[in-house]
Structure 1
């Protein structure tokens, strides 16, 4: 699989725009971020900005996470998996264990207010944690294979 580079153009001190379609593969599953998608990088509260970068090693994970939380996400990936994919990419990109753990915990605690209704499929959202159907078990077991134990 060919890997392309994430190209961003700063719009102002906070926002950037994706310049070209960007595809990130989680094992064999493609997540496509379209050109023109607007992101704020890592959404860091003002008080913590001296300690964490909005853009840096975490940029790819933050942009993909922003997309998965947006109304444009038609992948069927739910919020819990979006957060796990964020953690997976942070680890893959060499973000330290301490920083990625704090960032992951922050999106788990506060992310729900940013989760947008989806144009198409909203996957299982968080319902499947208690859903014992075969479909739900299959959905999560496939992602366990892709992401591994985190």
Structure 2
């Protein structure tokens, strides 16, 4: 089992933090523009942990060079069942430097967008607080 999978399944925010590169880029399934940086990515992932119900990884794929990984998952958001995939890329230090998430079907993606939209003020506050704390 991949360390990222284990950290997410255990809802271990500290372990997720350790696995993310400072320059990680997060591509959301419901936002046009990618998010850059560890603080915002961590805050988004915490938001996802709050809105996903019955989350579980069901399959795991590794690329031949060991730097790419795909984790297929299932969850429920606002009563809508969804299937998704976390596409991970690892830098030379083994940290996640790229995380792209895709989900289906459209009705579940819409429910996810709405649920995350309600979280976004909190997500932005959490990211800003981390950036401020990091500059002290």
TM-score past 0.5 threshold: no
Q: TM-score, normalised by structure 2?
A: 0.33
The structure where strand makes up a greater share of residues is: 2
The higher relative CO (CA closer than 8 Å, separation ≥ 6) is in: 2
Q: TM-score, normalised by structure 1?
A: 0.30
